[in-house]
Structure 1
Amino acid sequence: MESLEPTNKKDQEQLVDEIKHTKDAWFNHPMHLYEGFWCGDTIFKGVIAFQSQFEAHDSDIILASMMKTGTTWVKSLIFTIVNRKKFPGNISEHPLHIKNPHELVPHLEVKFSNADQPDLSNVSSPRLFAVHMPYLSLPTSIKTSKCQIVYVCRNPLDTFVSLWHFFLQFEENKGIVPDMDLMEEYVSKYCNEIIPFGPLKDHLLGYWEESMKNPQKVLFLEYEGLKKEPKANLKRLAEFLGFPFSEEEEKGNVIDDVIELCSLKSLKEMEVNKSGKVYPWFENKALFRKGEVGDWTNHLTPTMAKRIDAMREKLTEVGFSFTYYKTNVKAEVPH
């Protein structure tokens, strides 16, 4: 389904009014079904404004992902790879120690939610942005320009557990007491594809299919692959972005330095990520939990795991398979 891309503010407001009747919620956060995906109420107007007003540059780099699939981590990796020549020397003075990754690589849906048309004129090239929206709903300028898209996915089991814990930390959800019945309810929602920016299947396949058709424009990464083979995947990412590591950098352990600087352990220990808020709905520390592959085994019952794993099986039926899923996850799921 192609984006409607309303052309002016009046069209945008009319479209918002028309869509508002189709709604559900993830905990206490209303979502509206728009162009086939679930869009949160807090950024709904921003999504529509972003579609109609954003003009991509050929040099733009955009990270796309579902929520809780490694977005914060990959933002830090992309920023560090692209800007590593600007900040040589002492890693303790790197911008990641001063600003949260979401400040350095802002989400466009949020940026357009905070202003009718944000001023992007002072953003240096290459501009680094992120989106959670499905590929088909992106602005036309992103799809027709030469800008590059990096997509990161994660196995559905760990994604659910991370999403579950993340939303429990929202200010509006502080009074909720999580128990197995409530988790069962949200496993059902998740498996029925009622999740922020879902359906997951459509989201993942949209970017995956585009990466197959146009590998120079879309790079498809797996969270588990970044964890298991970080060096190989960072080299692949850097080459795709046009900022490859030189032989001298490899010999000088620059790749290892990037991996260490951007590791979850390192990011969690930075003072900037221990307090404060980039977004008004949650504190920065809510962005950093365990980040472990297979943590779902500590939270999901066998029945829950089997239901969620069925989402992977549906993807397999249409030709997609998680490269690292078999060794990291599948062997532990009951059948």
Structure 2
Amino acid sequence: MDTPQQQQDKISPQAKWWVDGQRIRYKGFWFKPEFITASEAIRAHYTPLPSDIILASFPKTGTTWLKAITSSILRHNSSTIHDDLGHLNPHEVVPFLEIELFGEKPSKDITNISSPRVFNSHLPLSFLPETVKTSGCRVIYITRHPADTFVSLWHLYNNRFGTEISIRQAFDEFCKGLVPAGPYFEHILEFWEARDRVMFVTYENLKANPEENVRKIAKFLGCKPIVEKIVKECSFEKLRNTIKERGEGIHWSGTKYEMFFRKGVVGDWKNHLTREMMKEFGSQHF
């Protein structure tokens, strides 16, 4: 028989904007059951190499941009790895550990990926093998203002599934942690506590100082940056236009690639959230 905590962990949250499947609480975080199964497979079978690069993030915090920048840096430092972003979406270049490599129906074989292997994950650090901390592999974590993260996530679900949940209700659920990979702050905290081994990048700083951040990321990866070229190649406008030129494409999650590019701005939450909501947000989390 399950313990009270195990029973609690199996309760499905009543979040009306999640219309793409059930979530369950596992180790304090909300995920689809298949992501939890995949995380167990990752911990059991993924052995990080010292040359591996893991791009970690909470959903809608700048994942696509970080993938693009990392891929561009590596491609300009070696002619044998990583495809041109002019022909592929960043999500096609950097695979997700929990879906494309260790999911129920993996589409890629990890043993066939050339070094340095680059992976992405929305999983908390505790869901990854302990050897991620000791193998010497490099982990980059991108984060973003929680209000902008929430607004971007809410728009994505509304556009993809046509949900009609009010921003007020969605906001309340976000504050309670009832979002994919949530709670948001706990997700960040796990990586922050390992910051002696994890490079932190913020969406806001990347937006304000792209050259400086590209240079820092390249140094962290042991690469020589071609800063101006990489910044131009990975600009929001360039990436979005490339997707439009290629026509409609579908991500493994079922999301159209074009939906990953909405505004790409800082402070859009001011157009959606009231002062009262932000005060409530602040009182709970800051």
Same-fold call, TM cutoff 0.5: yes
**Residue 153 of structure 1 aligns to which amino acid in structure 2?**
T
Q: How big is the shift at 1:97? A: 1.8
* Structure-1 residue corresponding to 2:123: 133
* Structure-2 residue corresponding to 1:55: 47
**Residue 194 of structure 1 aligns to which amino acid in structure 2?**
L
Distance between the aligned counterparts of 2:32 and 2:246, measured in 1?
24
Q: How big is the shift at 1:116? A: 6.7
* Structure-2 residue corresponding to 1:195: 179
Distance between the aligned counterparts of 2:51 and 2:258, measured in 1?
31
Counterpart selection for 1:45 from 30, 37, 42? 37
Distance between the aligned counterparts of 1:145 and 1:311, measured in 2?
36
**Residue 135 of structure 1 aligns to which amino acid in structure 2?**
L
Paired residues, number: 274
Distance between the aligned counterparts of 2:238 and 2:107, measured in 1?
35
Cα deviation code 1:3-41 (max 9, x no counterpart) = xxxxxxxxxxxxxx9898322245213211111111124
The 10-residue stretch of structure 1 (112-121 or 222-231) with the greater mean CA deviation from structure 2: 112-121
Question: After the TM superposition, which residues 1-335 of structure 1 pair with which residues of structure 2 at under 5 Å, given as runs?
Answer: 21-24=10-13, 25=15, 26-28=17-19, 29-86=21-78, 95-111=84-100, 112-115=102-105, 119-170=109-160, 173-174=161-162, 176-178=163-165, 182-211=166-195, 214=196, 217-245=197-225, 254-271=226-243, 274-313=247-286
User: CA 1:77 to 1:19, structure 2 compared with 1: closer, same or farther past 3 Å?
Assistant: farther
Check whether the contact 2:77–2:224 (CA below 8 A) recurs between aligned residues: no
Check whether the contact 1:106–1:128 (CA below 8 A) recurs between aligned residues: yes
Identity of aligned residues (%): 35
Distance between the aligned counterparts of 1:169 and 1:279, measured in 2?
17
Q: How big is the shift at 1:168? A: 1.5
Q: How big is the shift at 1:274? A: 4.3
Distance between the aligned counterparts of 1:209 and 1:128, measured in 2?
22
**Residue 89 of structure 2 aligns to which amino acid in structure 1?**
N
Cα deviation code 1:289-317 (max 9, x no counterpart) = 1010011111122222222334551xxxx
Distance between the aligned counterparts of 1:18 and 1:87, measured in 2?
52
**Secondary structure at the residue paired with 2:201?**
strand
**Residue 52 of structure 1 aligns to which amino acid in structure 2?**
A
Q: How big is the shift at 1:186? A: 1.0
**Residue 121 of structure 2 aligns to which amino acid in structure 1?**
V
The 10-residue stretch of structure 1 (70-79 or 104-113) with the greater mean CA deviation from structure 2: 104-113
Cα RMSD over matched residues? 2.3
The 10-residue stretch of structure 1 (58-67 or 20-29) with the greater mean CA deviation from structure 2: 20-29
Check whether the contact 1:274–1:284 (CA below 8 A) recurs between aligned residues: no
Q: How big is the shift at 1:279? A: 1.5
The 10-residue stretch of structure 1 (152-161 or 95-104) with the greater mean CA deviation from structure 2: 95-104
Cα deviation code 1:137-179 (max 9, x no counterpart) = 2112322311010001100110110010111233xx23x235x
Distance between the aligned counterparts of 2:73 and 2:7, measured in 1?
42
**Residue 109 of structure 1 aligns to which amino acid in structure 2?**
E
**Residue 146 of structure 1 aligns to which amino acid in structure 2?**
G
**Secondary structure at the residue paired with 1:184?**
helix
Check whether the contact 2:23–2:31 (CA below 8 A) recurs between aligned residues: yes
User: CA 1:273 to 1:210, structure 2 compared with 1: closer, same or farther past 3 Å?
Assistant: farther
**Residue 208 of structure 1 aligns to which amino acid in structure 2?**
W
**Secondary structure at the residue paired with 1:84?**
helix
Check whether the contact 2:39–2:127 (CA below 8 A) recurs between aligned residues: no
Cα deviation code 1:33-75 (max 9, x no counterpart) = 1111111245332222222221111100000110000000010
**Residue 227 of structure 1 aligns to which amino acid in structure 2?**
K
Q: How big is the shift at 1:114? A: 4.0
* Structure-1 residue corresponding to 2:3: none
Check whether the contact 1:69–1:152 (CA below 8 A) recurs between aligned residues: yes
Distance between the aligned counterparts of 1:242 and 1:297, measured in 2?
38
- Which residues of structure 1 form unaligned runs of 5+? 1-16, 89-93, 246-253, 314-335
Cα deviation code 1:185-214 (max 9, x no counterpart) = 111111112221121221111111211xx2
**Residue 262 of structure 2 aligns to which amino acid in structure 1?**
R
Distance between the aligned counterparts of 1:113 and 1:152, measured in 2?
23
